[in-house]
Structure 1
Amino acid sequence: MSDLIELDRTREDRLVVTLNRPERRNALDRAMIDALHDVCAELEEHPRLAIVTGQEGVFAGGADIAELRDRGVAEALEGINLRLFERLRRVPMPTVAAIDGWALGGGAELAYACDFRLATPRAVFGQPEVGLGIVAGAGAAYRLPRLVGESLAKDILMAGRRLTAAEAHSAGLVHAVPEPADLMSAAHELCDRLAAQAPLALRLTKLAIDAPDAAHPAVEMLAQAVLFTDQDKHDRMTAFLDRRRRRD
């Protein structure tokens, strides 16, 4: 695994992924993208929760501009960052972005690809791509309108507006705004809540939420049919009924 990221596998039910390129504000160069593909492969092979975070008060300052400047049509059509963020979005179990400091450009798009976002008061979200002569081509153009609404998304994507953590929380982009010293404990508390749910139901709920509109309601019916055969469903419902019976 690349030294551009650090992995903490201390807890069996989750993986903590720390971006480790502080001298470049954790800019997402090709090597870091490749390292994050390896993380996705691990999460696909051994499904579990994941926390993605940064270092040195920076989540990710964007794509590596020096690399972007020299890329041409072939690299654009390869979708280097886009393919990674699409893959991250589809990993089986939920992901949490723990954001402290800058989350700009590709760094913001990395956060959007996660299922949940927590941000400290010093977090800032923005998409500077248009000012650099390109589009936000790694998911922001379609994910951000779903997350914050079309009008605000256009202000961010087209007019260069940046969101503070408080504004991002008010817009529904982030789940909570813990202090920097509490960021990781808040991320783990959220993961604890997720880990308490039925694992297969959690996976299928994520799949249903992310399914294209045309797939509904068939995807929900199929997911429910699968879960109705799951022993965990029977055990959890039996335990629920037993607890209610004892209360009555």
Structure 2
Amino acid sequence: MAESLQVESADDRVVATLCRPEVRNAIDQAMIDALHDLCAELEEHPRTLIVIGSGGVFASGADIGQLRDRRADDARRGINTRAFQRIRALPMPVIAAIDGYALGGGAELAYAADLRVGTPRLKIGNPETGLGIIAAAGATWRLPQIVGEARAAELLLTGRILDADEALAWGVLSSLHDPEELLPAAHHLADRIAANDPLATRHTKTALAAPPGAHPDIELELQAELFESPEKERRMTAFLERRSR
């Protein structure tokens, strides 16, 4: 049986491909387990993560066959929630490259990323209430941060699905690309990230994720560490030397 998550690793990034094309990359327990394994690796050796789906689909949602049989104890375990929290908390940026459907749990996986790019055939949203459940793996708190409370309420309460142009206009996506250019576009973002100081990138992500009450003290402490960094000295010296030529 093929792996439900195919992982390609490089020195500065990892590409993880959701690979259950027979069910439009529906997220099952095996895929969640594989995501946890990948997170453990990236927590130990931080690199930028690109998540993409196979077969022209990101992820059509959680595996309904498994979801239907879950009960209250399963809900409290937060099977998808814990994995997506871990992805969100990874030290380096996460890029979701979204083609086709990103629905339910698939949308919530995309919301957990720091950056999202898509294709013109993208469809993203949360139809969970139509299935008798709620979007409990991050949408109710991450989506308001992305699109604002009023728009998040409309999407989550009606089950409305956004097309690509709407997702771009609402800020769910930062850019649109033809399907064959989607992964290269994600790599371009990863290239730009890789050109910067990794510690400064990690600290920027930490500051972005901090609760409102932590500002500005958290930035000042993170900056204090960076001010003592040899890499800061090296990069600023190189900048001044280039400017003086």
Normalised to the residue count of structure 1, the TM-score between the two structures is: 0.97
CA distance in 2, matches of 1:170, 1:104: 18
Counterpart in the other structure of 2:129: 130
Tell me how far 1:25 sits from its aligned partner: 0.8
CA offset digits 1:156-183 (Å, max 9, x no partner)? 1001111111111111110100000100
5+ residue gaps, structure 1: none
Q: How does 1:82-93 map to 2 (within 5 A)?
A: 82-93=81-92
- Paired residue total: 244
AA partner of residue 7 (structure 1):
V
Distance in 1, Cα, partners of 2:132 & 2:227: 51
RMSD, aligned CA: 0.9
Secondary structure, counterpart of 2:58 in structure 1: strand
* Residue 229 of structure 1: how far off its partner (Å): 1.0
Residue matched to 1:231: 230
Overall identity of the aligned pairs, in %: 57
Query: How far apart are the structure 1 equivalents of 2:217 and 2:134?
Result: 34
Partner residue in 1 for 2:202: 203
Matches of 2:56 and 2:158, distance apart in 1: 26
Structure 2 regions of 5+ residues with no counterpart? none
AA at the equivalent of 2:63: D
Equivalent in the alignment of 1:55? 54
Once the two structures are superposed, residues 38-63 of structure 1 have per-residue CA deviations (whole angstroms, 9 ceiling, x without a partner) of 11111111101110000111100000
- Return the offset for 1:244: 1.4
Aligned to 1:243: 242
Cα distance in 2 between the residues matched to 1:3 and 1:181 = 23
Query: Moved runs in structure 1, 4+ residues, more than 6 A?
Result: none
Partners of 2:62 and 2:211 lie apart in 1 by 28
Determine the structure 2 residue equivalent to 1:3: 3
1:161-200 alignment runs, 5 A limit = 161-200=160-199
Q: Distance in 1 between matches of 2:83 and 2:221?
A: 28
State how far apart, in whole Å, the 1-side matches of 2:199 and 2:209 are.
16
In 2, Cα distance between the equivalents of 1:41 and 1:111?
A: 19
1:214-238 Cα distance to aligned partner (Å, 9 max, x none): 2111110110011011100010011
Q: Which residue of 1 aligns with 2:217?
A: 218
Q: Where do 1:7-86 residues align within 5 Å?
A: 7-9=7-9, 11-86=10-85
1:22 Cα deviation after fit: 0.5
Deviations 1:83-107 (A, max 9, x none): 0010000111001001110000000
- The two structures have a TM-score, normalised by structure 2, of 0.98
Matched to 1:32, the amino acid is M
Deviation for aligned residue 1:134:
0.9
Q: In the alignment, residue 4 of structure 1 is paired with which amino acid?
A: S
* SS of residue paired to 1:75: helix
